[in-house]
Amino acid sequence: MAGPVLEMRSIVKTFPGVKALSDVSLSVRPGEVHAICGENGAGKSTLMKVLSGVHPHGSYEGDILFEGEHCEFKDINASEARGIVIIHQELALVPFLSIAENMFLGNEHASRGFINWHETLGHATRQLRRVGLNENPNTRVTDIGVGKQQLVEIAKALAKEVKLLILDEPTASLNDEDSDTLLDLILELKDQGITSIIISHKLNEIRKVADSVTILRDGRTVETLDVRAPETTEDRIISGMVGRDLDHRFPERTPHHPEAGAAPAMEIRNWTVRHPIDRERKVVDDVSLTVRRGEIVGIAGLMGAGRTELAMNVFGRTYGRYAGGVVLKDGKEIGTRHVSDAVGHGIAYVTEDRKHYGLNLIDTIGRNITMSALGKVAKRGVVDEHEERQVAEGYRKSMNIKAPTVFERAGKLSGGNQQKVVLSKWIFAGPDVLILDEPTRGIDVGAKYEIYTVIDKLAAEGKAVVFISSELPELLGMCDRIYTMAAGRLTGEVPRAEATQESLMRLMTKDKEVAR
């Protein structure tokens, strides 16, 4: 058997006050797909930044050997010159430049300061075909979807004659169809002899494409497993990631039984929303649902079903054009025309896009936690910084937010810890109803369990929770009732005891038929 194409030996990386990597080692065979998994904050992305030169030689301890040679990358250009290319979770594309311009930015086909556009467009077209993307290379990146943008990033890497392709959470922002396309492409590249490292929280993806998986925990290597071996089960991988067996993926929950005659905490009646641009198109069509205090009610649906559009329009008309419907709180009609109206009536919305709408990434953890209810920590219009710090510190401890202080910028936290900050923000506001939109998207199983526990506790305290999720096992494990949506309309309502993945999927694909 040929030796490893990559070896990382005893890597140690320290940031001020934090040891991110401690004696981490990694070995990757030629032509394999090697997965790296671990909880948020385990050191996965940091390790790949060391490998790719983002963290240059001299800023870490340990050795990197690539194709048998000792490497000391001073920057990302140095690693790319050796054929190591990293695609970060946050895509590095310039939206208003063309696909071709993005693909060769910094790597232009130029002579004497002039770009050879004929050669550039020809090369771009060949690489786009290689990744199965039938787009004109002159198309602006902003005019194509996220799934296609991910393929552009891979085509860009192939144009650099990549030998080792690193993908950091490549499907985190993709729908199921685009995710499958990308995973199939990774396997095709493997057949072409390209070695890949994929960082992913999604164990089903690891099992589909990976040959080996290295598990990191708390900045250390736990073990490397053969994915194809019978003993490499999801439970085995999860146990390695979190350091304990998870007999149950979800907290034990006693199904909620509403009081006879009690009005729902929130009721939505006949809600209709039109598309923000195409006014003839209904993205939410005559939807009605209820949620009671102490109850967790799920909403299931495929992409485009209208779940997020419903939640955002109810919460202050933040998406689309309101076209009808009423909201009742404890049996009384209320107005939610503006976000402040919804918040004032005790309704909170945890967005699916925490980076853009849930957090101010350049502000501190403390300010993010208190921003939804600054009046609680203010006197005569001035924020009491001592009280704000105490409040935030309480949430940092109770929510197990992994950060040295509440003065840390929110943008520096891992995805799971960012989500805990978003939840803390809305819990601090003291709502009666929480609408949670994909609350565990892009975070690992350990952080998911912690968030599930928080949600279960909120319901036990009498909060009413609406839980939107694309993961059917999550809805089945957490909810008392589950509504299903398809093409903007409600297609079913299933109690916990009767719900299965199969029954929900049938209703989620029941086009525009309302089940009574």
What the block records as the tokens of 243 is 């350091």
Across 140-281, the runs of DSSP E, i.e. the strands, are 164-168, 195-199, 212-217, 220-226, 266-274
Q: What is the percentage of the chain residues whose pLDDT exceeds 90?
A: 48
Mean pLDDT of the region 209-226: 92
Q: What are the CA-CA distances from residue 111 to residues 114, 115, 117, 119, 294 (Å)?
A: 5, 7, 11, 11, 68
pLDDT at 516: 36
Q: Which pairing describes strands 266-274 and 220-226: parallel, antiparallel, or unpaired?
A: unpaired
C-beta of residue 282 within 8 angstroms of C-beta of residue 336: no
Q: For residue 512, give Cα distances in angstroms to 170, 275, 468.
A: 32, 17, 19
Residue 515 has pLDDT above 50, yes or no: no
Q: Residue 364 is encoded by which pair of tokens? A: 């501190």
Q: Is 104 exposed, middle or buried (0-12, 13-18, 19+ CB in 10 A)?
A: buried
pLDDT value of residue 261: 64
The CA-atom distances, in angstroms, between 35 and each of 161, 165, 166 are 21, 12, 10
> What is the per-residue pLDDT for 259?
67
Q: Is the confidence at residue 409, as pLDDT, over 70?
A: yes
Distance (Å, rounded) from C-alpha 477 to C-alpha 350?
Answer: 20
d(CA 217, CA 44): 9
Average pLDDT, whole number, for the chain?
88
The two tokens of residue 89 are 């979770």
Q: What is the mean pLDDT of residues 15-24?
A: 83
- For residue 73, pLDDT over 90 is answered with yes
CB-based burial, 200-215: b 16+ in 10 Å, e otherwise: bbbbebbbbbbbbbbb
What is the predicted pLDDT for the residue at 181? 87
Q: How confident is the model at residue 257 (pLDDT cuts 50, 70, 90)?
A: low
pLDDT given at position 513: 42
- The predicted pLDDT at position 245 comes to 55
Model pTM? 0.64
What are 345-403's pLDDT values in tens digits? 999 999 888 877 788 889 999 999 998 888 888 888 888 888 889 998 998 988 888 88
Mind listing the domains of the chain with CATH numbers? 6-242 (3.40.50.300), 266-508 (3.40.50.300)
Name the band, by pLDDT with cuts 50, 70 and 90, for residue 294: very high
Q: Which of 92, 178, 97, 106 is nearest to 141 (CA)?
A: 97
Question: At 208, which amino acid appears?
Answer: K
Cα 467–Cα 459–Cα 241 angle in degrees, nearest 5:
65
Considering 1-5, 278-282, 345-349, 469-473, the range whose residues carry the highest mean pLDDT is 345-349
pLDDT band at 512 (very low <50, low <70, confident <90, very high): very low
Cα separation, 309 vs 324, in Å, equals 14
Q: How does 15-52 read in b/e, with b if 16+ C-beta sit within 10 Å?
A: eeeeebbbebebbbbbbbbbbbbbbbbbbbbbbbbbbb
* In contact, 467 and 479? CB cutoff 8 Å: yes
Percent of the chain's residues with pLDDT above 70 = 95
What are the pLDDT digits (tens) for 110-157?
Answer: 888 888 898 899 999 998 988 888 889 999 998 888 888 888 988 888
- In angstroms, the Cα distances linking 448 to 93, 99, 112, 196, 294 are 30, 36, 54, 27, 20
